[in-house]
């Protein structure tokens, strides 16, 4: 009923008819509600009496058997009090940007445990990069998806150099033997192809989500299910507040990674993306094909896999974005907005590891280089 008509109503008539309607409602609801609650319980009972099917996958995914989250006590969200006002917490396409304080991990953990979610994390330990594995896995055991099921997928050409680790329950290490490439650019770019191929052949059977990161890193604080979403990217720490013009997107029109100067949302880091296996397949497939097309045309995007990733995210926007808390370099200091540094670049001994961006010859670029090592 439109509001203006309502005010015209004769008060007494109005009151009596409202009384009547309310009475009818109470009677009807009482009768129906009782019945529907009972049948709801009956259906729950039927579900729980269902012979449990051997495969965990089916029974835990059946929406009928999902039990409601238990009682939890926490502060009520405040409509006019955003938890943070110093940072952007949502993009114009309504993807959340994840900062400390913007979420309640207890609620999220309960939701993801209920779905019995399994997370795969991929890293590439090619050639001498095997030296980073130990720190990576040891810190991940401490901070990454604690309490959830995790598969570490280590792509390497030196499986014998990966030592045994004692992992917590529900976590396992899977070593994937892959070829090495001569140039670091090729090693970096081929990651897209390898993730794509394994996603298609294997990962979809073993995990729900994939998190694809660089190995020359260490976890320094908790990284949990708050990062999971259909497809997510991470703000590159070196460009988190940069103008479009300053982004190091590919600017040559001949490249498939080309982005015009008047487009672009953020500059995403090549060393941290993920999502469901299906979405990661789409992303890596796009990037690999775009690289191959460029290769045929004898052009390679300026920042290799990262340039193609940025092109993909411009037109297939991520459903969640990780703030620089999730990817930081200590040489950049600790600004006020950064409440946690969860995942940090491990300083490299360049002469021992052979800097993959080998730019020592050009000291002017050294600073950008360090950021790019991500």
Q: What is the DSSP string of 90-109?
A: B-TT--BEE-TTSS-HHHHH
Q: State in angstroms the smallest separation of the CB of 204 from ligand NAG.
A: 24
Nearest Cα neighbor of 162 from 190, 207, 128 is 128
- Minimum CB distance to ligand NAG smaller for 224 or for 238: 224
Using rule CB under 6 A, residue 336 touches ligand NAG: no
Q: Least distance from C-beta 293 to ligand NAG, angstroms? A: 5
Q: Record the tokens describing residue 53, joined without a space.
A: 């099917």
Q: Is 339 in the site for ligand NAG (CB under 6 A)?
A: yes
How many residues bind ligand NAG (CB under 6 A)? The answer is 11
Among residue numbers 127 through 166, which ones bind ligand NAG (CB under 6 A)? 164
Q: Which of 43, 52, 172, 349 is in the footprint of ligand NAG by CB under 6 A?
A: 349
Sheet order of strands, 149-156 included? 97-98, 320-322, 231-234, 272-276, 209-213, 118-125, 149-156, 171-177
Burial state string for 306-340 with b = 16 or more CB within 10 A and e = fewer than 16: bbbbbbbbbeebbbbbbbbbbbbbeebeeeeebbb
Residues designated as active site: 306
Q: State the minimum distance, in angstroms, from the CB of residue 289 to ligand NAG.
A: 6
Interface characters, 244-283, with ligand NAG (x: CB under 6 A): ----------------------------------------
CB of 100 to ligand NAG, least distance (A): 4
User: Minimum Å distance from CB 11 to ligand NAG?
Assistant: 51
Q: From CA 248, how far away is CA 1, in angstroms rounded?
A: 57
Per the CB < 8 A criterion, the answer to whether 218 and 136 are in contact is yes
What is the contact mask toward ligand NAG in residues 352 to 371, using x (rule: CB under 6 A)?
A: x-------------------
Instruction: Compute the least distance from the CB of residue 163 to ligand NAG, in Å.
Output: 6
Residue with structure tokens 């926490």? 74
Window contacting ligand NAG (CB under 6 A); options: 8-16, 141-149, 263-271, 348-356: 348-356
Pairing of strands 149-156, 97-98: unpaired
For the bound state, the minimum distance from the C-beta of residue 190 to ligand NAG, rounded and expressed in Å, comes to 14
In whole angstroms, give the CA distance from residue 298 to residue 162.
36
Round to whole Å and give the CA distance between 331 and 344.
Answer: 10
* 310 touching ligand NAG, by CB under 6 A: no
Q: How far is the CB of 103 from ligand NAG (least distance, A)?
A: 7
Q: Does 292 bind ligand NAG (CB under 6 A)?
A: yes
Residue from the set 296, 298, 333, 336 that interacts with ligand NAG by CB under 6 A: 296
Of all residues in the shown chain, the one whose CB is closest to ligand NAG is: 352
First to last CA, the chain: 60
The CA-atom distances, in angstroms, between 112 and each of 133, 230, 264 are 27, 14, 32
Find out whether 151 and 170 touch, Cβ atoms under 8 Å. no
User: Is the CB of 145 or the CB of 277 nearer to ligand NAG?
Assistant: 145
Q: Given the rule CB under 6 A, which of 15-23, 37-45, 136-144, 285-293 is the region that contacts ligand NAG?
A: 285-293
101 binds ligand NAG (CB under 6 A): yes
The one-character DSSP state at 178 is -
Q: How far, in Å, CA of 61 to CA of 328, rounded?
A: 36
Q: Binding residue for ligand NAG (CB under 6 A) from 293, 331, 362, 366?
A: 293
Tell me which residues in 182-221 interact with ligand NAG (CB under 6 A): none
Instruction: Give the nearer residue to ligand NAG in terms of CB position, either 201 or 296.
Output: 296
**How far is the C-alpha of 340 from the C-alpha of 349, rounded, in Å?**
26
Question: Pick from 370, 289, 292: which is nearest to 329 by CA?
Answer: 370
Query: Residue from 95, 98, 100, 211 that binds ligand NAG (CB under 6 A)?
Result: 100
Nearest to 181 by CA among 125, 126, 133: 126
Site residues (CB under 6 A) for ligand NAG, limited to 28-87: none
Residues at the interface with ligand NAG (CB under 6 A) = 100-101, 164, 289, 292-293, 296, 339, 349, 351-352
């Amino acid at each position: 009923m439109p509001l203006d008509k309502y005010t015209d109503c004769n008060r007494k008539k109005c009151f009596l008819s409202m009384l009547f309607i309310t009475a009818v409602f109470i009677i009807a609801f009482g009768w129906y509600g009782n019945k529907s609650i009972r049948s709801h319980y009956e259906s729950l009972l039927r579900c729980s009496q269902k012979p449990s099917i051997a495969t965990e996958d089916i029974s835990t995914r059946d929406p009928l058997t999902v039990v409601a989250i238990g009682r939890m006590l926490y502060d009520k969200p405040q409509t006019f009090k955003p938890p943070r006002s110093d940072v952007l917490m949502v993009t114009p396409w309504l993807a959340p940007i994840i900062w400390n304080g913007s979420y309640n991990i207890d609620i999220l953990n309960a939701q993801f445990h209920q779905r019995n979610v399994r997370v795969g994390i991929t890293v590439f330990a090619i050639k001498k990069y095997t030296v980073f594995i130990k720190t990576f896995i040891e810190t991940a055991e401490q901070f990454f998806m604690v309490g959830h099921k995790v598969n570490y997928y280590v792509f390497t050409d030196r499986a014998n150099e990966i030592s045994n680790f004692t992992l917590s329950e529900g976590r396992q290490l899977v070593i994937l033997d892959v070829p090495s490439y001569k140039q670091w650019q090729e090693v970096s770019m081929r990651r897209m192809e390898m993730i794509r191929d394994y996603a298609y052949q294997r990962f979809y059977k073993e995990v729900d989500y994939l998190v694809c990161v660089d190995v020359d890193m260490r976890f320094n604080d908790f990284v949990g299910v708050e990062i999971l979403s259909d497809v997510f990217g991470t703000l590159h720490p070196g460009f988190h507040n940069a103008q479009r013009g300053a982004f190091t997107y590919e600017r040559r029109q001949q490249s498939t990674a080309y982005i015009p100067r008047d487009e672009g949302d953020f500059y995403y880091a090549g060393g941290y993306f993920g999502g469901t296996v299906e979405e990661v397949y789409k992303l890596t497939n796009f990037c690999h094909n775009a690289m191959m097309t460029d290769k045929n045309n004898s052009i390679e995007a300026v920042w290799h896999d990262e340039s193609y990733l940025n092109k993909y995210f411009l037109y297939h926007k991520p459903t969640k974005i990780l703030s620089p808390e999730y990817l930081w370099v200590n040489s950049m200091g600790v600004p006020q907005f950064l409440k946690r540094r969860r995942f940090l670049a491990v300083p490299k001994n360049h002469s021992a590891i052979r800097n993959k961006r080998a730019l020592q010859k050009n000291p002017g670029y050294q600073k950008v280089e360090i950021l790019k090592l991500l």
